[in-house]
């Protein structure tokens, strides 16, 4: 067991003890009881309407050309590299606040209720085949700063809820700048070669887990790393997509 794995395990145990002794408070409204209360969870609207077959983003009316067009403009421009992806919601309101708490306010306990929102998108891309759940890992330096890897926590809770296996099979080998504010080409360049497969995935169906999807450039690179170590198929489920990454024409 690596030191990092030990620390994650310690955190999980410590937070379980804390949960048992101290009631959590909702990361959004502050109500005592759950890390995110049911009332706040219910305010997360699912992505509705016609969606892209590849990225799951909503279509604009303008992209619904007559005929058999099933992909949004964004995916048609991106080619075939993006794994089939579904997200629970767009990055706004409750889910935006909850993800912010998970990533920047030292609230790893929020991962469990947030992971429940990943079940529907995960089932939508796995087609009844049990996947191995692989988190899109943080770079070790960012992990050190945060103390836990939010994608690994989400992957663990999702895998437990669904009875699936999980594996740390992808490592981020290059620290990347924040994707915020970068255009599509700059995002791809920023994450190119950022991941390496660290465990054999021969013949396995991989389900990548990440918190936020922007243009999908990170998922493209993580999927490439999985295929390089033998993954049979790669799909992805994320909590939220940036509003700008909805597949709509810019």
Interface residues with Zn ion (CB under 5 A)? 26, 28-29, 31, 37, 40, 52, 54-55, 57, 72, 75, 247
C-beta of 29 vs 123, nearer to Zn ion: 29
The tokens for 79 are 């080619």
Q: For Zn ion, which is the closer residue by CB, 73 or 195? A: 73
Spatial CB neighbours of 61, under 8 Å, sequence gap ≥ 6 = none
Q: Which is nearer to Zn ion, 69 or 173 (CB)?
A: 69
Residue 167: both structure tokens together = 């594996």
Q: How far is the CB of 29 from Zn ion (least distance, A)?
A: 3
Q: Please report how close the Cβ of residue 127 comes to Zn ion at its closest, in angstroms.
A: 18
Q: Write down the least CB distance from residue 119 to Zn ion, Å.
A: 20
Quote the CA–CA distance of 30 and 36 in Å, as a whole number. 9
Q: Say how far apart CA 137 and CA 122 lie, in whole Å.
A: 18
Q: Please identify, using beta-carbon distances, which residue of 38 and 177 lies nearer to Zn ion.
A: 38
| Contact in structure between 36 and 105 (CB atoms under 8 Å) | no
Number of other residues whose CB lies within 10 A of the CB of residue 13: 10
CB of 6 to Zn ion, least distance (A): 33
């Amino acid at each position: 067991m690596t030191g990092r794995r030990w620390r994650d395990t310690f955190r999980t145990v410590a937070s379980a003890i804390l949960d048992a002794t101290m009631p959590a408070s909702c990361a959004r409204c502050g109500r005592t009881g759950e890390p995110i209360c049911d009332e706040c969870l219910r305010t997360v609207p699912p992505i509705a309407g016609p969606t892209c077959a590849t990225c799951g983003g909503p279509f604009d009316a303008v992209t619904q050309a007559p005929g058999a067009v099933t992909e949004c403009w964004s995916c048609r421009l991106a080619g075939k590299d993006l794994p089939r992806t579904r997200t629970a919601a767009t990055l706004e309101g409750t889910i935006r606040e909850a993800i912010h708490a998970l990533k920047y306010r030292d609230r790893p306990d929020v991962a469990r209720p947030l992971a429940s929102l990943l079940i529907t998108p995960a089932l939508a891309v796995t087609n009844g085949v049990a996947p191995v759940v692989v988190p899109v890992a943080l770079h070790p330096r960012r992990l050190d700063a945060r103390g836990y890897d939010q994608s690994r926590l989400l992957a663990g809770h999702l895998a437990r809820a669904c009875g699936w296996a999980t594996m740390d099979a992808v490592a981020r080998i290059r620290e990347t700048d924040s994707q915020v504010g970068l255009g599509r080409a700059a995002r791809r360049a920023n994450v190119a070669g950022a991941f390496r497969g660290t465990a054999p995935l021969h013949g396995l169906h991989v389900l990548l887990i990440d918190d936020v999807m922007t243009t999908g450039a990170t998922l493209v690179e993580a999927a490439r790393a999985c295929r390089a170590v033998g993954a049979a198929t790669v799909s992805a489920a994320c909590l939220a997509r940036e509003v700008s990454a909805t597949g709509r024409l810019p």
